[in-house]
């Protein structure tokens, strides 16, 4: 008995399905899928864990860096919520607080996988600020701020020994560092203060009378451990101030040496106690000098002398 032979058809793979891979509709669909994948990847990426690792690597002795939450903010970069920079001692006031801080790395750095420059923006004590950070061999920081309310900055209360400082601060500051030595720091700034007032303040336990200033402004430059105050003016109701000169910075800061020319005078609404205080503080003019001639402020920040 013979078994009939079976002939199976030869299998020939077909690549007809690949003819449409190069079509425009297929390419557009692939790009659409890739874009959706990237969007959902960024939206669901654990940004907070990444930021916490970066902050942990940036820990400075005696300093505490905290971020409440992190979210991807699309074209604005990353939003860091409830940012806090404070001393390690929780009883001391914070150096910096912001309810919302936007951080946007530079695209060129992302391509190289080395983030050395970022753009910053956000809210700061009732005002707004914008800035940039650039790292590398030379670190550069520049900020512009507008409408910052000084009464919301907690450290002023400790500096004024429980006093109150009001006003809105605006201006620009840039800082450049080449190392860790203060002599290697370069900085420049131009700041303006509107509607400023000082109340219930003390200096070395000596009470400061209430002062109100319509405007105040300063321009300064820091280089080689020397602060050059190009202009410091204050137009107040009780006191007017015009000063310029240099401050040689020392460590600790209270030992910094002063060399300033200061012109102090009663304001248009100066009360009698302010006039009496100024006459006691301001030494008499040198022989032949005008009564309103600038005086020299020397000594240190801890022990200034006006002569």
Taking the C-alpha atoms of residue 211 and residue 237, their distance in angstroms, rounded to an integer, is 7
The answer to whether residues 152 and 295 belong to one domain is: yes
The answer to whether residues 84 and 131 belong to one domain is: no
The answer to whether residues 126 and 274 belong to one domain is: yes
- The answer to whether residue 137 is domain-embedded is yes
Whether cis (ω within 30° of 0) applies to the bond prior to 252 is: yes
The answer to whether residues 90 and 185 belong to one domain is: no
Contact predicate 76/102, CB 8 Å = yes
Taking the C-alpha atoms of residue 217 and residue 236, their distance in angstroms, rounded to an integer, is 12
- The answer to whether residue 21 is domain-embedded is no
The answer to whether residues 91 and 116 belong to one domain is: no
Question: How many domains does one find in the chain?
Answer: 2
The answer to whether residues 150 and 55 belong to one domain is: no
- The answer to whether residue 293 is domain-embedded is yes
Taking the C-alpha atoms of residue 49 and residue 57, their distance in angstroms, rounded to an integer, is 12
Beta bridge partners of 83: 67, 98
The answer to whether residues 120 and 245 belong to one domain is: yes
The answer to whether residues 185 and 272 belong to one domain is: yes
Taking the C-alpha atoms of residue 135 and residue 198, their distance in angstroms, rounded to an integer, is 38
- The answer to whether residue 277 is domain-embedded is yes
- The answer to whether residue 29 is domain-embedded is no
Q: C-alpha distances in angstroms, 298 versus 75, 205, 260, 302?
A: 51, 21, 7, 11
User: What pTM value is reported for the model?
Assistant: 0.71
Contact predicate 293/285, CB 8 Å = yes
The answer to whether residues 59 and 195 belong to one domain is: no
Q: Which range of residues forms the domain containing residue 71?
A: 39-105
The answer to whether residues 187 and 203 belong to one domain is: yes
Contact predicate 240/275, CB 8 Å = no
- C-beta neighbour count of 132 within 10 angstroms: 17
pLDDT tens-digit profile, the chain (307 residues):
566 666 666 666 665 655 666 677 777 888 888 888 877 776 676 667 766 666 665 556 677 778 888 887 777 778 888 888 888 777 777 888 888 888 887 666 655 656 677 788 888 888 998 988 777 676 788 889 999 998 888 877 777 777 788 899 999 999 887 766 666 778 899 999 998 888 887 776 777 788 888 889 999 998 888 889 999 998 888 888 899 999 888 877 788 888 888 888 888 888 887 888 777 777 766 665 565 678 888 888 888 888 8
């Amino acid at each position: 008995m013979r078994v009939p032979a079976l002939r199976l058809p030869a299998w020939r793979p077909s690549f007809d399905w690949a003819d449409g891979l190069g079509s425009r509709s297929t390419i557009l669909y692939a790009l659409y899928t890739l874009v959706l994948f990237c969007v959902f990847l960024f939206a669901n990426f654990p940004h907070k864990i990444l930021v916490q690792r970066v902050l942990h690597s940036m820990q400075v002795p005696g300093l505490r860096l905290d971020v409440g939450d992190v979210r991807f903010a699309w074209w604005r970069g990353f939003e860091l919520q409830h940012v806090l920079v404070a001393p390690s001692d929780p009883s001391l006031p914070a150096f910096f607080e912001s309810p919302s801080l936007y951080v946007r790395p530079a695209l060129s750095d992302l391509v190289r996988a080395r983030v050395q420059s970022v753009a910053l923006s956000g809210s700061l004590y009732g005002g707004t600020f914008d800035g940039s950070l650039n790292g590398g061999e030379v670190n550069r920081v520049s900020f512009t701020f507008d409408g910052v309310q000084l009464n919301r900055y907690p450290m002023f209360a400790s500096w004024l020994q429980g006093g109150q400082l009001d006003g809105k601060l605006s201006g620009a500051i840039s800082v450049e560092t080449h190392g860790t030595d203060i002599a290697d720091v370069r900085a420049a700034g131009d700041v303006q203060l509107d509607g400023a007032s000082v109340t219930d303040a003390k200096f070395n336990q000596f009470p400061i009378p209430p002062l109100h200033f319509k405007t105040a402004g300063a321009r300064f430059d820091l280089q080689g451990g020397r602060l050059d105050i190009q202009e410091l003016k204050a137009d107040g109701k009780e006191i007017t101030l015009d000063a310029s000169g240099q401050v040689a910075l020392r460590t600790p800061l209270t030992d910094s040496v002063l060399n300033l020319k200061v012109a102090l005078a009663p304001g248009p609404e100066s009360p009698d106690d302010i006039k009496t205080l100024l006459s006691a503080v301001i030494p008499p003019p040198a022989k032949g000098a005008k009564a309103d001639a600038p005086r020299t402020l020397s000594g240190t920040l801890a022990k200034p002398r006006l002569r």
